Chains A and B, each alone.
Chain A
Amino acid sequence: MFDDRSPIYQQIAEKIKKDILYGDLTADEQVMSTNQYASFYRINPATAAKAFQQLTDDGYLYKRRGIGMFVSPDAQERLRAGRREKFFSDVVRPMVAEARAVGIDLQEIIHHLKEQA
């Protein structure tokens, strides 16, 4: 489930953000508690807590005292905006570089994209 490339708390935060982005977690939906998360993934509760702390600090989740943590109403839109900005640098540019390296020309890619759309 978790790899050695980065701290687990960051991997948890990324996973929850992805769930929000893809709509698996929706606005005002309650997320698992720190302890549920810790026992499910067999990790130290402090590690799970750190992930949730970061998500609430960044405004993707909000706390309701004594009840739990919930997805912020604007979380999905904010994540989408952030990912849109990076789409060309993170997704398109490496794809173009790969296409050049293996000898696929740009027209072929455009043709392929139009067919898919």
Chain B
Amino acid sequence: MSIEVRDLRLRFGDVDALDGLSFSLAGGKIYGLLGRNGSGKTSLLSVLAAFRRPTSGEVLINGAEPFENAGVVSQICLIRESGDVYDNERVASVLRAGRQLRRDWDSDYAEKLLERFQLSTKKRVQSLSRGQKSALGIVVGLASRAPLTMFDESYLGMDAPSRYAFYEELLADYTAHPRTFVISTHLIEEVASLFEEVIIIDRGRLVLHEESDALRGRGVTVTGPADVVDTFVASLTVLGQQTLGRTKAATIYGELNDTQVRAAKLAGLELGPVALQDLFVHLTRAEAEGIVR
């Protein structure tokens, strides 16, 4: 399902959780929604899932506004933190609700997932650990087979083997039943390879919308004598810099062409890669605002 967000604002009291956000997603892909805590990820997902009405601006899912639109909402599934399940229900009744409410629900697949995550249908939700509750949310989200499925930090409390089981199931089921996934996270290193595109937001605004794989190699550190580094990076997009004695390390955004790489080597500068997590930290730091378009 395509997603069109235009100048979206969501105001709580005197705080703009979303502050003029615009982007457009073609759909049919696995999208990563990245941002720091409080950047507006959950607000955005709540608007996309029609849990909230925007203060102003527009959201179109396959061309239609989702808010109070049953036809659209029945095709959307949002799983929030810790699974979005009620404490006093049994696991079996969570699944029954899924079957009754979700148009594209697959009961066999739900059973298979429960087994994979070692969840018993007889247990009450309140007796599950935090990680098991998250896993139950994952089961509901995947088995819903909703054309637009969104997970908001849904892996919280899950141990590494369960998270990896989630990633494997996500890829396998996406391959077998292509649909649109939006997955919010701040654990970038672990999940970046699952995403086809990423959207990075900060303080309710868009920082970047890019092919996930293209972000690798997109940051470069330039290290050397401070004055030489300064001259070299003068015309480049500098995300951050650190000085140690007379040595300076600048992090720049963008790929260097062959001429620039040669010039750097001739000037005695050292070039190095930037880890995705570091790039993300740089891109979402207060000072970085408006640097990248």
- B-binding residues in A (CB < 8 A): 2-9, 35, 38-39, 41-47, 50
Contact = CB atoms under 8 A, between A and B. Distances in A.
Interface stretch (B16-24, B140-148, B199-207, B272-280): B272-280
Interface string B158-182: 0000001001100110110000000
Contact of A35 (B164, B175, B213): B175
B168 A4 contact: no
Contacts of A2: 193
B217 A44 contact: no
Interface residues of B, number: 22
B171 A47 contact: no
Given A43-B194, A44-B195, A44-B196, A4 B274 contact: yes
B193 A42 contact: yes
Contacts of B172: 39
27 contacts: A2-B193, A3-B273, A4-B276, A5-B217, A5-B273, A6-B216, A6-B217, A7-B213, A7-B216, A7-B217, A8-B213, A9-B213, A35-B175, A38-B175, A41-B193, A42-B164, A42-B168, A42-B193, A43-B171, A44-B30, A44-B196, A44-B212, A45-B171, A46-B29, A46-B196, A47-B193, A47-B196
A8 B164 CA distance: 19
3 pairs of A and B residues whose beta carbons are closest in the complex: A5-B273, A43-B193, A7-B213
Nearest to B32: A44
Contacts of A8: 193, 213, 216
Contacts, number: 56
B234 interface: no
Contacts of A47: 193, 196, 212-213
B214 interface: yes
Interface in B123-146: none
A7 B167 CA distance: 20
Nearest to A51: B213
Contacts of B30: 44
A44 B274 CA distance: 21
A41 B214 CA distance: 18
A35 B171 CA distance: 9
B171 A42 contact: yes
A26 to B, nearest CB: 28
A3 B174 CA distance: 24
Contacts of A4: 216-217, 273-276
Contacts of A5: 216-217, 273
A65 B107 CA distance: 34
Contacts of B196: 44, 46-47
A4 B168 CA distance: 21
Contacts of A7: 213-214, 216-217
Contacts of A6: 216-217
